[in-house]
């Protein structure tokens, strides 16, 4: 294990506890989610030069104009995703650095994650393997198309925003499944879609700010 993974002062129990308290104050109440945030090494998913900020409740740059989501956003989306029951099979759009994938892998049955920027996808794979999370299935592709050969999914979580929800993602949601995604242009709302048969119920929740859901691969 390298020094970054073994952890240094910034990864101390006290620093992580402060983040958990902050998430509680911000309304996160699912104890399983809080425990996974406490035990997932966020510093391991970002550049060493930023590692001292790893347990602050802020988004941080991960290169290629992308960011690792703010811990509150990861916690809130995960809490919403597992609220109806732990999903057996989850699709994530926007692997980025792989942090949210690691959180999902600790809570859900199997995790499939798609990223459109190849170097980010490759780096996420190395990090997840090093953390013993090789079971997370990763693909370099346009997440707007979902992952048809593995559908249906009991949960779908997108970490990038669009004004509309791609029809392909709704079609790949299992009966009884839930999709969580930021919807909007510059102003976005966390949006939850529940599928019952061919009926889709949509609710708009918190105001959020995500990187854009882009088309094609890079
Ligand atoms: N899940 C990450 C968040 C990364 S930011 C975390 O743990 O913090 C969102 C990511 O979505 C970026 O890496 C971006 O490249 C990716 N993305 C944007 N549009 C996409 C698309 N159509 N398909 C797949 N990934 C996409």
List the domain range (segments joined by +) for residue 86.
2-208
| Rounded distance from Cα 15 to ligand 1 centre (Å) | 27
Question: Is 216 domain-assigned?
Answer: no
Query: What phi-psi label fits residue 4: left (phi over 0), alpha (psi between -120 and 50 degrees) or beta?
Result: alpha
Q: Reduce the DSSP state of residue 98 to 3 states and report it.
A: coil
Strand partners, 110: 89
90, part of any domain: yes
Q: Return the pLDDT at 146.
A: 98
The answer on pLDDT for 1 being more than 50 is no
Residue 91 lies in a domain: yes
Sequential DSSP letters for 99-133: HHHHHHHHHSSEEEEEESSHHHHHHHHHHHHHTT-
Average pLDDT in the chain: 95
Per-residue pLDDT for 66 more than 80? yes
3-state secondary structure of 185: coil
Task: Report the alpha-carbon distance of residue 184 to residue 190 in Å, rounded.
Answer: 9
Nearest CA, atom 14, ligand 1: 94
Across residues 72-100, what is the average pLDDT? 98
217 part of a folded domain:
no
Domain count, the chain: 1
Positions annotated as catalytic residues are 69
Atom 13 of ligand 1: nearest residue by CA position = 96
Q: How far is the CA of 9 from the centre of ligand 1 (A)?
A: 30
Is 92 inside a domain boundary?
Answer: yes
Give the model's confidence band at 13: pLDDT under 50 very low, under 70 low, under 90 confident, else very high.
confident
- What tens digit of pLDDT does each residue of 147-200 get? 999 999 999 999 999 999 999 999 999 999 999 999 999 999 999 999 999 999
pLDDT band for 11, please (50, 70, 90 cuts): low
- Predicted TM-score (pTM) of this structure: 0.95
Alpha-carbon radius of gyration of the chain: 16
Q: Ligand 1, residue 98: give the atom nearest the CA.
A: 7
Ligand 1 binding pocket includes 143 (Cβ within 6 Å): yes
pLDDT of the residue at 4 = 52
* Torsion over CA: 160, 164, 165, 167 (sign): negative
Residue whose token pair is 């945030």: 37
Residue 210: pLDDT over 80: yes
211 in contact with ligand 1, CB cutoff 6 A:
yes
102 pLDDT more than 80 = yes
Q: Is the CB of 136 under 6 A from ligand 1?
A: no
pLDDT-wise least confident of 6-15, 27-36, 87-96, 138-147:
6-15
Q: Distance from the CA of 96 to the center of ligand 1, in angstroms?
A: 5
Best residue among 95, 161, 212 to mutate for probing ligand 1, ranked by most atoms within 8 Å of CB = 95
209: pLDDT strictly greater than 70: yes
Alpha-carbon span 69 to 188, nearest angstrom:
14
Is the pLDDT at 105 greater than 60, yes or no? yes
Rounded Cα distance, 145 and 141, in Å: 8
108 domain residue, yes or no: yes
pLDDT greater at residue 11 or residue 18:
18
**Is the distance from the beta carbon of residue 114 to the nearest atom of ligand 1 less than 6 Å?**
yes
Domain with 76 in it: what CATH number? Answer: 3.40.50.150
Residue 215 lies in a domain: no
Residue 31 banded pLDDT, cuts 50, 70, 90: very high
Task: State pLDDT tens for residues 39-60.
Answer: 999 999 999 999 999 999 999 9
What's residue 12's pLDDT?
82
Residue nearest to atom 23 of ligand 1 (CA): 143
Q: Which residues 6+ apart lie within 8 Å of 122 measured at CB?
A: none
Alpha carbon distances (Å) from 133 to 32, 78, 98, 102, 136: 18, 18, 10, 7, 6
Ligand 1 center–CA 147 separation, angstroms: 15
- How far is it, in rounded angstroms, from Cα 51 to Cα 83? 31
Tell me if 213 is assigned to some domain.
no
């Amino acid at each position: 294990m390298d020094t970054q993974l073994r952890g240094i002062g910034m990864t101390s129990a006290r620093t992580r506890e402060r983040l958990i308290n902050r998430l509680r104050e911000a309304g996160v109440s699912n104890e399983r989610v809080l425990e996974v945030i406490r035990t997932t090494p966020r510093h391991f998913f970002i550049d060493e030069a930023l590692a001292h900020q790893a347990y602050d409740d802020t988004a941080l740059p991960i290169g290629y104009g992308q960011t690792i989501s703010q811990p509150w956003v990861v916690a809130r989306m995960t809490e919403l995703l597992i609220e109806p029951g732990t999903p057996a099979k989850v699709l994530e759009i926007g692997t980025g650095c792989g942090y949210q994938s690691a959180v999902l892998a600790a809570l859900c049955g199997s995790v499939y994650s798609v990223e459109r920027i190849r170097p980010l996808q490759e780096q996420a794979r190395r990090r997840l393997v090093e953390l013993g999370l090789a079971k997370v299935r990763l693909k370099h592709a346009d997440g707007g198309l979902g992952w048809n050969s593995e559908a249906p999914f009991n949960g779908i979580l997108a970490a990038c925003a669009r004004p509309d929800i791609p029809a392909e993602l709704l079609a790949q949601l299992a009966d009884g499944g839930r999709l969580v995604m930021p919807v909007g242009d510059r102003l976005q709302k966390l949006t939850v879609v529940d599928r019952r048969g061919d009926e889709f119920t949509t609710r708009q929740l918190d105001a959020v700010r995500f990187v854009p859901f882009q088309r094609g691969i890079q």
